[in-house]
Amino acid sequence: MPEDRTEQPHIVTCTAPVNIAVIKYWGKRNEDLILPINSSLSVTLHQDQLKTTTTVATSRSFQEDRIWLNGKEEDITHPRLQSCLREIRRLARKRRNDGDSGVDSASLSHKVHICSVNNFPTAAGLASSAAGFACLVYSLARVFGVEGELSGIARQGSGSACRSMYGGFVQWIMGNKEDGKDSLAQQVEPETHWPELRILVLVASAERKPVGSTSGMQTSVKTSCLLKHRAESVVPGRMVEMTEAIRKKDFAAFAELTMKDSNQFHASCLDTYPPIFYLNHVSQQIISLVHRYNKHYGETRVAYTFDAGPNAVIFTLQQHVPEFVHVVQHFFPPETNGADFIKGLPVNCASLSEELKQGIGLEPMPKGINYIISTKAGPGPRVVEDPTQHLLLSDGFPKKTM
Ligand code: DP6
């Protein structure tokens, strides 16, 4: 290889999805390795609507590892970033020593520059750390030529990130080994399995969450006996039932389990001492709205779930989307009723009957919801082949447009 070419950075860009848990992960048995107290299960959201893009470059000329997140340089010494970098380099070294020709030996001694952006506002309180760490680990693996199981490394960035390593319906098996080697994510069904399933993210507020999930779950593990009961005696059965509901595409069973599990997670937060509140008055109104809507039709057509913040994620079937979106729009009248209220997959028009409005019978809550992102289940991380999409220039620094 000519001498000057070795100065050219090796650049890889990848994208990774957000996931939303329908059986929640809350609580660790090992803080450093990020090992959970229960298994969990999620749906990977489509990257056309929500994704992280990460570019990783390695070069002999780089002096140190560096990272830029959403346009701002961040501290690379963060322990979770260090865990992911260390584990990928360790795996690459091991593979090279085992004689794997795919490993880029030269880059193993090189420093990395990392640049990552989300296509959704971080402040919207959507699970950006899961997509972020999944994308980081996937891109690092590509740049160093590492293949195979990577969810165990993504897990060490953020627990829920291990589930963003796969598309469709994904379980994170808690495992029981002390070293965490069996605490991995696994696809339950691919994204093509249930094409009628639709997901609506109701962005309730742009405020940042009051208590982060990492510290929140620490306090819950220490103080909540409901959480202990949940992890030991409730979740194992629910994992089996949920997998079965998904396999059979049984929406009513899927929806009921999803809502009950979200409610029990938030009940465990309330059982934490001092208590943690993630739901606000808008979230509570959405819960009432969903139950009244289902009751009106005498069947479970819609389900809600909430993570460590007030935004609701709604699951429903394609045929109910137009009406339900208009129900939301009616009971949470936005400032402007324009197209801006609904982002993502197009939603057809629907009219609401007086009977339905009266059946629901709630007082409208103006401006309670900022906007809705309409999406569906989607694929796992991907390599972006087009070099014009790289977030780092050939000098290894972020493009100025960011
Ligand atoms: C409520 O994965 O963000 O979204 O492992 O400490 O990084 P750390 O926590 P994180 O927790 C996610 C919690 C949740 C439920 C879930 O996604 O399963």
Task: Identify the pLDDT of residue 108.
Answer: 87
- Cα end-to-end distance, the chain, whole Å: 33
Whether 200 shows a pLDDT value over 90: the answer reads yes
CA 96 / ligand 1 centre spacing (Å): 33
Instruction: Please say whether the beta carbons of 247 and 239 come within 8 A.
Output: no
Average pLDDT for residues 21-25, to the nearest whole number? 98
Whether 5 shows a pLDDT value over 60: the answer reads no
Taking only the tens place, the pLDDT of each residue in 356-375 is: 999 999 999 998 999 999 99
Query: Tokens for 52?
Result: 């992280």
Q: Kindly state if the Cβ of 323 falls inside 6 Å of ligand 1.
A: no
Phi, psi of 165 (to 5 degrees): -80, -5
Q: Kindly state if the Cβ of 308 falls inside 6 Å of ligand 1.
A: yes
User: Across-strand partners of 302?
Assistant: 316
* C-alpha closest to that of 209 among 261, 258, 147, 277: 277
Average pLDDT for residues 17-21, to the nearest whole number? 97
Query: Tokens for 336?
Result: 């402007």
CA 337 / ligand 1 centre spacing (Å): 33
Of 38, 213, 235, 265, which is best to mutate to test ligand 1, by the most ligand atoms within 8 angstroms of its C-beta?
213
The continuous run of DSSP H or E covering 113 comes out as strand 111-118
Average pLDDT for residues 120-129, to the nearest whole number? 71
Taking only the tens place, the pLDDT of each residue in 70-119 is: 889 999 999 999 999 999 999 999 988 888 877 777 788 899 999 999 99
Task: Identify the pLDDT of residue 4.
Answer: 45
Query: Could you tell me how many residues make up the chain?
Result: 402
Task: Identify the pLDDT of residue 53.
Answer: 98
pLDDT band at 1 (very low <50, low <70, confident <90, very high): very low
DSSP designation for 209: P
Q: Kindly state if the Cβ of 294 falls inside 6 Å of ligand 1.
A: no
Query: Tokens for 391?
Result: 């977030």
The continuous run of DSSP H or E covering 303 comes out as strand 302-305
Taking only the tens place, the pLDDT of each residue in 271-329 is: 999 999 999 999 999 999 999 999 999 999 999 999 998 899 999 999 999 999 999 99
Percentage of residues of the chain with pLDDT beyond 90: 84
Task: Identify the pLDDT of residue 101.
Answer: 79
pLDDT band at 255 (very low <50, low <70, confident <90, very high): very high
Task: Identify the pLDDT of residue 205.
Answer: 63
User: Across-strand partners of 343?
Assistant: 373
Q: Kindly state if the Cβ of 158 falls inside 6 Å of ligand 1.
A: yes
b/e map of 126-150 (b: 16 or more CB within 10 Å)? bbbbbbbbbbbbbbbbbbbbbeeeb
Taking only the tens place, the pLDDT of each residue in 205-246 is: 656 557 889 999 999 999 999 999 999 999 999 999 999 999
Closest atom of ligand 1 relative to the 217 alpha carbon: 6
Q: What is the DSSP string of 315-376?
A: EEEGGGHHHHHHHHHHHS--SS-SGGGEEES--------HHHHHHH-PPP-TTS--EEEEE-
Distance CA 56, CA 141 (A): 10
Three-state DSSP class for residue 92: helix
Average pLDDT for residues 131-138, to the nearest whole number? 98
Average pLDDT for residues 143-172, to the nearest whole number? 97
- Per DSSP, helices labelled H in 2-127 are 79-97
Task: Identify the pLDDT of residue 208.
Answer: 59
